[in-house]
Amino acid sequence: MKPFLLKTRVCRVAGVTGLVLIGTLTTWARMPVDTLRSNLTAYASSMDQLSQQANAAGTNPPPILIFLTTCRDNAQWVATQANLHPRRTNDLNAVLTELTRRLESSRSLADAQLRSAGLPPRSQYPAAWAGEGQAYEQFVGPYTNDSYRIKISNQNELLRRKYLEPDDPQANYVETLAQDFSFTRYDGYRRNSWRSYKGVSPLEVKLRLEPAIALGSSATPALLLSGGLLYNFFPTFDDSGRVKETTYSQFVRRTGPCLGGGIGYHNGSVDPLLGGGWQVRWFTVWMLYDTASRDYSFGVGISEWDWVKKTLPSGMLDLFK
């Protein structure tokens, strides 16, 4: 077979394989980052229904109707907050604290208005007592207790260790496109297994430029575009949420296969390189093929730069921010 025809067929196969892979990834449904937003919407809808029922009954005084409407508006306000995201634990806690404060203020105001008007207390009105209380316990209560906040803090720590998260300055745009696929990112209610721990998948997609050295007859500097699927070794947590490192989480951190292509500088010329490799923590070991000289060589690439920060003076760390 002629070399030109062989190259054409290889390109076609590679192109079809790439399209199939992209199609497979995009058909995986993106999971919602959490059900908090939908639960708050459900609470607001319950308050709206209770308000309509109380108004139609004609036996509820204005403070009760105002109370139910205010609870609905407060829940809707929180549900529309842009920073309502489990990874940003501090922002999430602030929003939940504000919601709790607003609801407590609404209850206190309704009780004070009923007392000043000489009306029965709020507990005598089913819509404003049992109805609102049940809706709160069902849709909001689980998110305001300490166990939930410990859970979110644990998930935040696991996500922080995955270097493609959006807030990470190392991450690039292509990596963040894969952040919400259910098989790589976050599903707060997934059971613990090899593919999920505390709702966080240990798998992540990698796509980065990687400097490398090809070790053939001589050391050849190279630059590779590396893509792969990595597995993260997560730590465990005690009941209070404190991190407990394992041997693998402390020393290996992440590992997985990679494919790459790029250029290498050899004997005064720039040659195209193709290869496959395996990443362990910060480094990738490559088997490279020089398409110009048709030679094979081993190589070592640097996949991450966190380790550099530990060797620099504190003043130079600003360069990485």
pLDDT digits (tens, 9 = 90+) for 121-139: 888 888 778 888 899 888 8
Q: How many helices (H) and strands (E) does the chain have?
A: 9, 8
Structure tokens at 317: 């760390």
Residue 99 has pLDDT above 90, yes or no: no
pLDDT at 170: 44
Q: Give pLDDT, residue 144.
A: 76
Between CA 207 and CA 226 the distance in angstroms is 6
Tokens of 282: 């910060």
Tell me the average pLDDT across 40-60: 87
Q: Count Cβ atoms within 10 A of the Cβ of residue 243 and give its class: 0-12 exposed, 13-18 middle, 19 or more buried.
A: middle
The interaxial angle of helices 89-116 and 146-160, nearest 10 deg, is: 160
Residue for token pair 């270097």 = 163
pTM: 0.62
- Domain regions of the chain by residue span: 36-144, 163-320
Whether the per-residue pLDDT at 142 is higher than 60: the answer is yes
Q: Supply the pLDDT for residue 212.
A: 92
Report the pLDDT averaged over residues 42-62.
Answer: 88
pLDDT for residue 288: 92
Contact 303, 229 (CB under 8 A): no
